[in-house]
Amino acid sequence: MRPITSWAAGTLAVAALLSTAAGCGEDGMTATLPTADDIVLTEIASGLERPVQLVGITGDSRLLVVEQRGRIRVLDGGQLRSEPYLDIGDRISSGNEQGLLGIALHPNFASNGYVYANYTNGAGDTRVVRYTERGDGLSLDPATLKEILFVEQPNGNHNGGQLLFGPDDMLYIALGDGGSSGDPRGNGQNLDTLLGAILRIDVDGGDPYAIPADNPFASGGGQPEIWAYGVRNPWRNDIDAEGGFIYVADVGQNEWEEVSVAPLTEAGVNYGWNTVEGPECFRDSGCDRTGLREPVVWYGHGDGCSITGGHVYRGDAMPALKGTYFYSDYCSGWLRSFRYDAAEDMAVEQREWSIPDLGSVYSFGRDADGEVYILAGSRVYRIDPAP
């Protein structure tokens, strides 16, 4: 078995937390939260309601911030616009794990203005839709709504929600196992459902989409949209085009939170849920783990409660950190990172950064320049080099 690293087996101790500073993101002012390490956290926005994603626009100064309550906000020039880019609060369900959960900009957004959104509707079911930006660039036009995908959800939790375009211009859609506890329907290992899987579709090849010919079940054996499966509640994923890998942070059930990494070119990856949870068999000690993708990092519930996946850093402000993957935990709020060693298929250079208490870390973001952001509480912070 290849080596796997557990944070429970030994971590870097968190240094003493330093003082924090209040920020004024609404009027463009910023504040810096010092740390005991060689980074600082620069607050760039505040006053948000449960921010769950930040997306940069290539060739554009705007940052789009997704609020789970159903709004997309625009952060431009250090100022958070009062008028939303999109508000579908009247279309969504508002349970703890429901709402507007993710967006992705079409690779040709500069010319077509397409923005894809993943949300749970009033009945709690998953809808993936497309909107088109108005000509003035201030908002999305609700009249341009186009249905892409509908998935019935049996419960109100484990909806996943991440949307990502890969370097192949395919749209990747993360769906949880349909909820309840312990995956009672066995959706994680059921190839006849879209639940508990990461889907891959071609939104340019058909109406509303086409099945890529190299999807593992395009010719049968499972739902043709499935690219990978065996996930419980992936929150969040990242596609690192430069490295050529997809990072999947999967929220655990009873014991373990985990991050798995797979090549973007590897179809049909089975991440193991609900046969396994983290490094262990889920229900018994004798499960068959043949062919399952093992996590590269995991930690127990004595160290957190719900993983918050992040992004691989590809910016220029901190060259030494290029290729570093950042992640956190919703309850514990620490900031950790590692690099993925593809040759050994393992996490290396693991680190826990000593940062001030940010509260609940909902998500991460990355701008068009590859800089990484933390979304916590009602605020957005950028990870910057210490002066």
Q: How far is CA 85 from the centre of its chain?
A: 21
pLDDT of residue 23: 37
Mean pLDDT, range 219-225, rounded to an integer: 98
pLDDT of residue 95: 81
Pick the closest to residue 67 from 96, 93, 89 (CA basis): 89
Please tell me the distance from the alpha carbon of residue 278 to that of residue 25, in angstroms, as a whole number: 38
For 215, the domain range is: 49-333+359-379
pLDDT digit string, tens, across residues 116-136: 999 999 999 999 999 999 999
Is the sign of the CA dihedral 268, 274, 277, 279 positive or negative?
Answer: negative
Please tell me the distance from the alpha carbon of residue 311 to that of residue 240, in angstroms, as a whole number: 8
Query: Exposed (0-12), middle (13-18) or buried (19+): which is 303, by Cβ within 10 Å?
Result: middle
Pairing of strands 5-6, 297-300: parallel
Mean pLDDT, range 221-228, rounded to an integer: 98
Look at residue 33 and tell me if it is in a domain.
no
Q: Cβ distance 237 to 264 under 8 Å?
A: no
Number of H helices, E strands in the chain: 1, 30
Look at residue 174 and tell me if it is in a domain.
yes
β-bridge partners, 5? 297
Look at residue 12 and tell me if it is in a domain.
no
Q: 218: which 2 tokens?
A: 């395009």
Domain count along the chain? 1
Look at residue 110 and tell me if it is in a domain.
yes
Pick the closest to residue 110 from 150, 62, 44 (CA basis): 62
pLDDT of residue 285: 74
Q: For residue 78, is pLDDT > 90?
A: no
3-state secondary structure 350-366: EEEECCCCCCCEEEEEE
Which positions ≥6 away from 74 have C-beta within 8 Å? 62, 63, 64, 65, 80, 81, 84, 85, 138
Q: Cβ distance 117 to 129 under 8 Å?
A: yes
Look at residue 141 and tell me if it is in a domain.
yes
Q: Any idea what the CATH number is for the domain that residue 69 is in?
A: 2.120.10.30
Please tell me the distance from the alpha carbon of residue 120 to that of residue 100, in angstroms, as a whole number: 7
pLDDT of residue 335: 97
Mean pLDDT of the chain: 91
Q: For residue 25, is pLDDT > 70?
A: no
Question: 33 falls in which pLDDT band (50, 70, 90)?
Answer: low
Amino acid at 268: G
Look at residue 40 and tell me if it is in a domain.
no
Mean pLDDT, range 227-234, rounded to an integer: 98
pLDDT digit string, tens, across residues 239-290: 999 999 999 999 999 999 999 999 999 999 999 999 999 999 998 778 999 9
Look at residue 10 and tell me if it is in a domain.
no
Q: Which helix (H) or strand (E) covers residue 112, if one does? A: helix 109-112
Mean pLDDT, range 185-204, rounded to an integer: 98
Mean pLDDT, range 108-119, rounded to an integer: 98
Q: For residue 13, is pLDDT > 60?
A: no
pLDDT digit string, tens, across residues 35-59: 657 899 999 999 999 999 999 999 9
Look at residue 108 and tell me if it is in a domain.
yes
β-bridge partners, 308? 328
pLDDT of residue 180: 94
